[in-house]
Structure 1
Amino acid sequence: MGRTRSAAAERHARRMNDIVPVILSGGSGTRLWPLSTHHSPKQFIPLLGSQSLLQQTILRARQTGIAKAPILVTNIAHVAQLECQLKEVACVPFRLILEPEGRNTAPAIAMASLEAPTPKSLLLVLPSDHIIKDVAAFGAAIQQAVPLAEQGWMVTFGIQPDYPETGYRYIRSGVEISHGVHDVEAFVEKPGATSAAAMIADGGHFWNAGIFLFRADIMVEAIRAHAPDVLAAAEQALALAHRSNFTVAPDPAAFGDAPATSIDYAVMEKATKVAVVPVSIGWSDLGSWDMLHAVGERDAAENMVDGNVTVIEGRNCLLKTTGPLIATIGVSDLIVVVTPDAVLIAPRGRSQDVRRLAEKVGNPSAPVESNR
């Protein structure tokens, strides 16, 4: 029995050692303005704990048993921040791909797939600004997905929904193709409240977290088949790239020819061999201040406070400062975020509108109510 368990452990370690993390770190994170800005996006900020979300993502991959150096894709404007944070967690990437501009996830994943150590390398795509609390469960889900990915399936990880969220896209599962793994019947656009509730009631629907496992060559061929303009631009940008040690700076003009589109729209919705592993891993994309309040530590009055904050008779607030003192008396259901440069005040439940406010602040001539 001991020998059997040891052999299984060895197979697990060997499979996890074959995986290369691809960490996407090009987002702007303006939904968490004013703390997160275009100059310092949320993945570089320690929103929960002492390490940034990017650092937590790198360490989480290690904790699952993945040993290979990651491929990191980031905006060239953030390279100094990223390299500093990599040093703090002793991470030397296999490739650091510096996007000259943001073009969404399809061009980023195309370049990462082309830069993989071998064509058959297994790549695990991880957004750099999410949290996963149950790392052991996440590692088990990756292990479950590996055999299918080795066989040429592109695997996504569907988050078991806790409530009918309208801010996420959903994955509708189809027939079971392996124990606990189903093929993907459809990707569902962000639903209204009624549709989201119906999907939760029906079952078989999962939040799309943007986490994928696939072989590099399979993804390259899928992009070639379904988004050839994305692949052509990525190939040309890499052919003309400036390379130094592990750093790759794609050619700006060639990269600019890539359509700005997500891997979901460009490939996953159109490909045939796409599978979903349902998971309950304590996941959040921290896409708003309300979401941060939901997953962060709160006091007995449901207040989440961080920094120099004093509260008297307040309930259900998020109060965070990296600048001067926040002091409140008798307020409830409020978001107050203070930095040395700006102050955000909003009612709880309206934090999805912060992106529009950030755009208004960055472009004062833009009408703040234009998307209502």
Structure 2
Amino acid sequence: MASDLMNIVPVILSGGSGTRLWPVSKPEHPKQLLPLTAELTMLQLTAMRLEGFDSAPIGRPILVANAAHTDIIDDQLRQSGIEDYLLILEPIGRNTAPAIALAALEAQADDALLVMPSDHVIADLPAFHAAIARALPLVGKGSLVTFGITPDGPETGYGYIQMGQSCGEAVHEVVRFVEKPDVANAQKMLAEGNHVWNAGIFLFRADAYLAAMGRHQPDMLAAVRTSMTQARRDGAHVFPEAMAFHACPSDSIDYAIMEREAHVACVPVAMGWSDVGSWDSLHAISARDAANNAVRGEALLLGAQNCLVHSDGPRVTLVDVDDLIVVVSDGDVMILKRGESQKVRKVTEALKSLTAATTTH
């Protein structure tokens, strides 16, 4: 089918728990369901990301999410004016490769699936739309396409993609996927100039993805197929059969499919992207005052510089301090140095141990 006639189906992955933004983000209310970067939640912004795209028709979005978040997702989509959607509710998380397969089995074989995490920020939508349009001709020929973010520094928190020969207008063959590097390797890749950050955003035909999964992960495909054949359906909600889905191997699309597949291409794009993976990255993309402070909620800052304050109620007062992250949410208060927000993981692990110890006594 000609690429200009392909239906693009947004596939929104909303299974993450977002614990790196504790205490605001918690398993029962993860970051994609919160208004962290705007008045709308990150899920709502993702669901509206193709508004104004005119290079191909847009089909009904498919969301793959944790069954525990059903009501919240329904409410948020309807508040955004999105009434026609399909919500596939995973009985257990099995990472991105099976999640995308659930959506691919539900779509038409020749639909182009635009796979998007629900908790990323894209500031420049026209640039994103142009990148999608550049990818469509290759997608029509059966390639699996990933979108790579033009790096603006030697970031060690992202995986990288090494790009090779041109295979379309500003589209390149993928040479290899690179694990999250140390600083020296990140600087080396940046200097070479043919590397981009792996954003986890993809575009491919449903049948091309399922065929690749059949080649590289037949057990995974069989388990997902069974879970969807035996799924329970209730209006816009699809509940994959739990036993079959529990039996499915858990793996990311990168490891399970993309690194093994021959026909993979990358569209590099600078589009104001962030995965908002930490309080530091939220500070970086937030509006800031003259002293480089980012504030959400009630705060009084006197002589404070380079701080992030995020409060859901109590006023936070900072006096003559620099480089602090202060988060107040639902009775929890967290304070740490800016630049150290990856240590939030230690907090969530300590709290789990504390809860386990309390439960056993």
Contact 2:134 2:168 in 1 (8 A): no
Aligned-partner SS, 1:21: strand
Structure 1 segments, 4+ long, off by >6 Å, are none
Match of 1:286 among 264, 276, 285: 276
Q: 1: distance between equivalents of 2:240 and 2:302?
A: 53
Q: 2: distance between equivalents of 1:56 and 1:337?
A: 23
| Residue matched to 2:72 | 81
Q: 2: distance between equivalents of 1:93 and 1:346?
A: 43
| Residue matched to 1:6 | none
| Residue matched to 1:100 | 91
| Residue matched to 1:91 | 82
Match of 1:113 among 104, 110, 133: 104
1:348 matched to 2:345:
no
| Residue matched to 2:62 | 71
| Residue matched to 1:29 | 18
Contact 1:21 1:123 in 2 (8 A): yes
1:218 matched to 2:208:
yes
> Quick check: 351-360 or 278-287, which moved more?
351-360
Percent identity among equivalent residues?
A: 50
Q: TM-score when scaled to structure 2?
A: 0.95
**Aligned AA for 2:62?**
I
Contact 1:315 1:332 in 2 (8 A): yes
1:187-202 paired onto structure 2 within 5 Å? 187-202=177-192
Equivalent pairs, count:
354
> Quick check: 71-80 or 352-361, which moved more?
352-361
* Structure 2, unpaired ranges of 5+: none
Match of 1:227 among 201, 217, 231: 217
Q: 1: distance between equivalents of 2:14 and 2:262?
A: 28
Match of 1:320 among 278, 288, 310: 310
Q: 2: distance between equivalents of 1:228 and 1:112?
A: 17
| Residue matched to 1:134 | 124
Q: 2: distance between equivalents of 1:267 and 1:341?
A: 43
Q: CA RMSD in A?
A: 1.6
Q: Deviations over 1:253-275 (max 9, x none)?
A: 11011112100000000000000
Q: 1: distance between equivalents of 2:209 and 2:85?
A: 19
**Aligned AA for 2:7?**
D
Aligned-partner SS, 1:363: helix
Q: 2: distance between equivalents of 1:366 and 1:140?
A: 49
Aligned-partner SS, 2:49: helix
1:60 matched to 2:49:
yes
Cα deviation for residue 93 of structure 1 reads 4.3
* Structure 1, unpaired ranges of 5+: 1-10, 368-372
1:195-344 paired onto structure 2 within 5 Å? 195-344=185-334
Q: TM-score when scaled to structure 1?
A: 0.92
| Residue matched to 1:7 | none
Q: 1: distance between equivalents of 2:76 and 2:344?
A: 27
| Residue matched to 1:160 | 150
Query: CA distance change for structure 1 residues 75 and 98 in 2, over 3 Å: closer, same or farther?
Result: same
Aligned-partner SS, 1:79: helix
Cα deviation for residue 366 of structure 1 reads 8.1
Q: 2: distance between equivalents of 1:245 and 1:39?
A: 24
Cα deviation for residue 359 of structure 1 reads 2.5
Q: 1: distance between equivalents of 2:356 and 2:144?
A: 41
